[in-house]
Structure 1
Amino acid sequence: MISTEITAADINWPCKLDDEFKQKLLSIAIPVKGLPNTEASINNPYFRGVYYIHTGLSYLCITSLDFKPLNCAVFGAQSWLGALFMYNHPEIPLHLGEIESGEILFFPKKKIQLLCNETDQTHRWLFHIASFNSPKFFQIKKIPLYKKDIRIIYYLLELAAQSTQIKGVHPKINITQQQLSDLSGIARPSVNRVLKELEQENLITSSRGSINLNDLNGLSGRLEDVNLVFNDPSRILLLNNAK
Structure 2
Amino acid sequence: MQAPSVGRAEGYRVPAPRTTEETVDAERLHQAEWVVSCLEGRSAARPGRGAVVALASRLRTRLLRRGELAFREGDSEAGVWIVRAGRLELAVKGRQRPLIVQIMRSGGIDGDIQKLLGMPFPYRARALEETECLTLAPRDFEELLAEHPQIARMWMSTMAERLSYSHDRIVGMLGRTLTQQSSRLLLDEAASGVVDVPQQKLSEMLGVCRPSLNKVLKELEGQGLIRLRYGAVDILDPYGLAQRAD
Q: What TM-score do the two structures reach when normalised by structure 1?
A: 0.71
Number of aligned residue pairs:
210
Match of 2:54 among 4, 24, 27: 24
1:155 matched to 2:185? The reply is yes
CA positional deviation for 1:86: 2.2
8 A contact 1:32–1:106 mirrored in 2: yes
User: Secondary structure at the residue paired with 2:242?
Assistant: helix
Looking at structure 2, the residues matched to 122 and 37 of structure 1 have their Cα atoms a distance apart, in angstroms, of: 30
Residue 43 of structure 1 aligns with which residue?
A: 74
Aligned partner of 2:216 in structure 1 is 194
Equivalent residues of 1:52, 1:104 under 8 A apart:
yes
For 1:1-243, list aligned pairs within 5 A: 5=27, 7=30, 8-11=32-35, 12-15=37-40, 16-34=46-64, 37-38=68-69, 41=72, 43-47=74-78, 49-58=79-88, 60=90, 63=92, 68-69=98-99, 72-88=101-117, 90=119, 93-98=122-127, 101-142=130-171, 143-160=173-190, 163=191, 165=192, 171-224=193-246
Letter in 2 for 1:69: L
The amino acid across from 1:41 in the alignment is: R
- Unaligned 5+ segments in structure 2 are 1-25, 41-45
User: CA contact under 8 A between 1:51 and 1:80: conserved in structure 2?
Assistant: yes
Residue 25 of structure 1 aligns with an amino acid whose one-letter code is: L
Structure 1 residue runs of 5 or longer lacking an equivalent are 166-170, 225-243
Are 2:198 and 2:230, in contact at CA under 8 Å, matched by a contact in 1?
yes
Q: Residue 234 of structure 1 aligns with which residue?
A: none
> For residue 136 of structure 1, what is the amino acid of its counterpart?
Y
Matches of 1:46 and 1:184, distance apart in 2: 29
Q: Could you say what secondary structure the match of 1:33 adopts?
A: strand
Cα deviation 1:19-41 (Å, max 9, x = unaligned) = 22222222222212337745962
| 1:174 partner letter | D
Decide which moves more: 50-59 or 177-186: 50-59
Query: Contact 1:81/1:133 (CA < 8 Å) preserved in 2?
Result: no
- The more displaced of 36-45 and 181-190 is 36-45
Aligned to 2:20: none
| Cα distance in structure 1, aligned partners of 2:118 and 2:98 | 18
Question: How far apart, in 2, do the equivalents of 1:201 and 1:86 lie?
Answer: 46
**Contact 2:84 2:106 survives alignment (8 Å):** yes
Letter in 2 for 1:14: L
Q: Which has the larger radius of gyration?
A: 2
Of stretches 101-110 and 74-83 in structure 1, the one that deviates more from structure 2 is 74-83
| SS of structure 2 residue aligned to 1:77 | coil
Question: Retained in 2: the 8 A contact 1:29–1:107?
Answer: yes
User: Over residues 99-139 of structure 1, what are the superposed CA-to-partner deviations in whole Å (9 max), with x where a residue is unaligned?
Assistant: 56543212222321233443334532431221221122102
User: 1-side partners of 2:128 and 2:195: how far apart?
Assistant: 9
CA contact (8 A) 2:76 2:121 kept: no
Deviates more, 1:202-211 or 1:8-17: 8-17
